[in-house]
């Protein structure tokens, strides 16, 4: 294996690690919800934004899969998505085992506290993973559709065009399943859907310069033309 292949494999593993850690952390912290008020007195508009903290690291996963799709191709991006699913399932197994264990009398964290913080419901994780798989594979397919359609031009279009649509699918699917499985109440479905989608769209626009920067640096590092992918 030459130095170029070693370097490309190392960067791929780093990107995959960022992807998996972001995904797993989403499922670990999703039970806490945050809120803040948006006040625009000049137009008389007041709005309370409410959403799960699990949404905070999640958009990173789409940025990473877009970068991997751009530089390494669709197959590698699909591998990372499946790896994220396996990692999440393994995390669920470990947390379930830990939750079932009885805390020692001197343990700083008792059973009830641990269950409240880390006691992930199987229904919630199932909903999250189904939405995750659907959205990520849609994101990858749309990304490569725009890449081919624009003949490798307009990075911003394939980055945002794939991410925005797939993020809506993800937000809708996970909330629909969570409400259908009685994990969340239906009366907050619309608000969480709008909040979650708008947040993800905002982050998608914010991360566009980073997508340009990182894809440029990686193409320069590996001497790739615009749209060219690394060969296995």
Beta bridge partners of 77: none
- Structural tokens at position 20: 């998996």
What are the C-alpha distances in Å from 141 to residues 46, 49, 91, 163, 215? 38, 31, 27, 11, 18
Closest CA to 173 of 139, 207, 205: 139
Question: pTM value?
Answer: 0.82
Stretches where the chain sits below pLDDT 50 are: none
Q: What is the pLDDT of residue 43?
A: 64
Domain boundaries, the chain: 3-222
Name the one residue in this structure whose structure tokens are 């566009």. 208
Nearest Cα neighbor of 33 from 17, 5, 55, 3 is 55
Using CA atoms, how far residue 230 sits from 41, 151, 162, 173, 223, in Å, is 52, 17, 21, 33, 10
Residue from 72, 7, 10, 80 nearest 227 by CA: 72
Residue 72 is predicted with a pLDDT of: 92
**Which pLDDT value is given to residue 121?**
62
Instruction: Give the other-Cβ count within 10 Å of 69's Cβ.
Output: 26
Has domain 3-222 been given CATH number 1.10.10?
no
User: What is the rounded distance in angstroms from the CA atom of residue 198 to the CA atom of residue 178?
Assistant: 19
pLDDT at site 122: 65
Contact criterion met (CB below 8 Å) for 146 and 157? yes
Other Cβ atoms within 10 Å of 160 Cβ, number: 19
């Amino acid at each position: 294996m030459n130095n170029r292949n070693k370097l490309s494999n190392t960067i791929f593993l780093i990107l995959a690690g960022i992807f998996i850690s972001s995904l797993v952390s989403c499922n670990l912290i999703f039970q806490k919800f945050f809120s803040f008020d948006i006040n625009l007195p000049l137009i008389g508009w007041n709005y309370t934004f409410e959403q799960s903290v699990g949404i905070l690291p999640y958009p990173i996963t789409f940025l990473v899969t877009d970068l991997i799709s751009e530089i390494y191709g669709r197959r590698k991006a699909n591998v990372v998505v499946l790896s994220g699913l396996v990692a999440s399932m393994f995390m669920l197994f470990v947390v379930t085992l830990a939750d079932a264990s009885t805390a020692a009398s001197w343990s700083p964290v008792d059973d009830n506290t641990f269950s409240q913080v880390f006691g992930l419901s199987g229904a919630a994780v199932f909903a999250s993973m189904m939405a995750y798989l659907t959205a990520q594979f849609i994101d990858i397919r749309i990304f490569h559709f725009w890449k081919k359609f624009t003949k490798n031009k307009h990075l911003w279009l394939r980055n945002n065009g794939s991410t925005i649509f797939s993020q809506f699918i993800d937000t809708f699917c996970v909330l629909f399943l969570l409400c259908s499985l009685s994990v969340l109440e239906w009366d907050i479905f619309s608000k969480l859907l709008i909040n979650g989608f708008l947040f993800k769209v905002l982050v998608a626009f914010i991360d566009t310069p980073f997508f340009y920067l990182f894809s440029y640096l990686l193409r320069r590092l590996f001497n790739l033309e615009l749209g060219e992918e690394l060969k296995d």
